[in-house]
A = this chain, B = another copy of it.
Amino acid sequence: MVDIIHRVGIRTPVEKVYAALSTIDGICGWWTRQTSGASEPGARIALQFYSPDGSKVGDIEMQVVELEPDRHVHWRFVSGPEEWIDTDATFQLAQDGDWTIVRFGHRHWREPGEFTEHCSTKWATFLLSLKEFVETGRGRPSPADLWIGNWH
């Protein structure tokens, strides 16, 4: 089984990273500006992704499975790319001196393949956007996200 895994260190207190992951305004700052819904356990968050030219690239809806302040965020995807449905994204947070360490997983892919590989690289760019957003106030959420190839 292939999972997507990443780790970034963000030079900031853990509370700021948790806020960027657990609030709608926070998610708008690093993943996509078009984020709506309610960030609380059992509720759903809808995300839309656009190109800089205004065309829609994708739609995702996810359920918030768990929010443990300053420790853990767990989402399950309920609609979007077929490969994402019923997969899980988790963020484990820990403070280490001046740093907040984010350990990320996107797991439970049924048939990993080229699209999983694309998503792995794309997740890296969004986690670096999260890092920039929290450290500087300015991330690269869609539609300002970094294009990594012909699949956006």
Q: Footprint of B on A, CB under 8 Å? A: 1-10, 96-97, 99, 101, 103-104, 112, 114, 116-118, 120-121, 124-125, 127-128, 131, 146, 148-151
- Looking at chain A's contact residues, the main secondary structure is mixed
Residues in chain B near residue A124, CB distance under 8 A: 6, 120-121, 124-125
Q: How many copies does the complex hold?
A: 2
- Return the 8 tightest CB-CB contacts between A and B, nearest first: A9-B149, A124-B124, A7-B117, A9-B150, A6-B121, A7-B118, A5-B117, A99-B150
CB distance from A90 to the nearest CB of B (A): 12
A112 with B149: CB separation less than 8 A: no
A6 to B6, CA, bound (A): 11
| Residues B114 and A149 in contact, CB atoms below 8 Å apart | no
* Beta-carbon contact of B120 and A148 below 8 Å: no
Complex CA gap A120/B150 in Å reads 21
Do A131 and B116 touch across chains, with their CB atoms under 8 A apart?
no
Q: How far is the CA of A124 from the CA of B114 in the complex (A)?
A: 15
Residue of B4, B104, B148 near A9 (CB, 8 A) is B148
